Amino acid sequence: MEKKQFAYFEGKFVPLEEANINIMTSGFLYGTAIFEGLRAYWNERKEEIYIFRLREHYERLQDSMKIMRMDVKYSLDELCNLTIELARRNNPRGDTYIRPTVYKAAKQIGPSLLNNPSELCIFTVAFGDYFHGADGLHVQVSAWRRVEDNAIPARAKIVGAYANTALAKTDAVAAGFDECIVLSENGHVSEGSAMNVFMVKRGKLITTPTTENILEGITRNTIIEMAASEWGLKTECRPIDRSELYIADELFFCGTGAQIAPIVSVDRRPVGNGKVGPISDKIRSLYVSMCRGDVPKYSKWLTPVFKPDGDPMGQAAGKTAGCC
């Protein structure tokens, strides 16, 4: 029998099927909602599930709220605790995705952010790999441009901005590609549809700067820190031209959903020798073991749901040291 699933909705835990918003809700009518996407990794041997970088996701949620003039009713600790409590109630036995959303809740016509209270909802859902297969992705440089900071700031996870993502991703898939890389209006590489991009060139790790209309990815920051600490690989954050994609030795995407996803061709041109590159491969292997709780050095980034270890909100992790 299916387990009963709960959501956090309008201030309480309710059965998931009762967590419904009215069709006149502002956030639904105008896309004036912000969200986060977190993963929790099941470790069968330990019978435990670990939420990855819980606190950092809620720090970013609060930043998105600030940009969208949303009032903060919950502290960071409260947001983390609510999420742990919800995960416990839903009692997952496999990898899980956690989706908190804060939405403008007035039932009114007109997209104003003022005099428009916000509400929080959170649900969890079983979630495996976003990309299937280990052979790498074939991607297209999208004809769509990334939303600019002065249009809809990409550093906030604003629901309405994901129409841009949907157009770019859908056209890439419709054209027979796995994914796309989107450029900013200035022609520089921005990011994938819902993931950041890294390039390897002559042994150097390079990623796009935060000013290139990207979401400042938590996975991106994780890789920057991990690569420096594990292999002494410093990441250069600088604008990347489209043509650099064609001559890169390696390329990979990273994100909560995508995890680490190597790219083997761009616009039908092979990346490097057209196979998953060695640096992408070792980052991918370590990342997955780390998320599953098998690398003690990185347990600071994991929040166990069932057996708290004295650092329930991953507070020891703090802000990422190595980000740029």
Q: The tokens 């201030």 sit on which residue?
A: 11
* Chain-centroid distance, C-alpha 23: 27
* CA nearest neighbour of 57 among 19, 101, 90: 101
User: Taking the CB of residue 2, how many other CB atoms lie within 10 A of it?
Assistant: 4
Piece of the chain touching ligand PLP by CB under 6 A; list 19-27, 123-131, 133-141, 252-260: 252-260
Q: Is 218 near ligand PLP (CB under 6 A)? A: yes
Q: Is 219 near ligand PLP (CB under 6 A)? A: yes
Pairing outcome for strands 235-237 and 204-207: parallel
Question: Among this protein's residues, is 73 annotated catalytic?
Answer: no
Piece of the chain touching ligand PLP by CB under 6 A; list 8-16, 85-93, 251-259, 274-282: 251-259
Piece of the chain touching ligand PLP by CB under 6 A; list 21-29, 61-69, 170-178, 214-222: 214-222
- Closest distance between ligand PLP and the C-beta of residue 237, in Å? 14
Mask of contacts with ligand PLP, 35-74, x by CB under 6 A?
--x-------------------------------------
User: Taking the CB of residue 42, how many other CB atoms lie within 10 A of it?
Assistant: 18
Computed over its alpha carbons, how large is the radius of gyration of the chain? 20
Binding residues with ligand PLP: total (CB under 6 A): 13
Task: Report the SS3 class of residue 8.
Answer: strand
**From 46, 66, 73, 157, active-site residue:** 157
Piece of the chain touching ligand PLP by CB under 6 A; list 80-88, 210-218, 260-268, 275-283: 210-218
* Chain-centroid distance, C-alpha 91: 23
Q: How far is residue 118's CA from residue 32's CA, in Å, rounded to a whole number?
A: 10
Identity of the residue, 6 or 198, whose beta carbon is nearer to ligand PLP in the bound complex: 198
Identity of the residue, 86 or 197, whose beta carbon is nearer to ligand PLP in the bound complex: 197
User: Taking the CB of residue 220, how many other CB atoms lie within 10 A of it?
Assistant: 27
Q: How far is residue 56's CA from residue 37's CA, in Å, rounded to a whole number?
A: 11
Please report, as a single letter, which amino acid is at residue 313: M
One of 119, 179, 191, 212 touching ligand PLP (CB under 6 A)? 191
One of 79, 195, 251, 286 touching ligand PLP (CB under 6 A)? 195
- Closest distance between ligand PLP and the C-beta of residue 54, in Å? 12
Q: Is 184 near ligand PLP (CB under 6 A)? A: no
One of 136, 153, 217, 272 touching ligand PLP (CB under 6 A)? 217
Burial class (CB in 10 A: 0-12, 13-18, 19+), 269: exposed
Mask of contacts with ligand PLP, 113-152, x by CB under 6 A?
----------------------------------------
Q: How far is residue 97's CA from residue 41's CA, in Å, rounded to a whole number?
A: 9
Retrieve residue 128's tokens: 């495996």
One of 92, 153, 255, 277 touching ligand PLP (CB under 6 A)? 255
Mask of contacts with ligand PLP, 268-307, x by CB under 6 A?
----------------------------------------
Q: How far is residue 287's CA from residue 276's CA, in Å, rounded to a whole number?
A: 16
Residues that bind ligand PLP (CB under 6 A): 37, 191, 194-196, 215, 217-220, 255-257
Q: Which sequence positions are flagged as catalytic?
A: 157
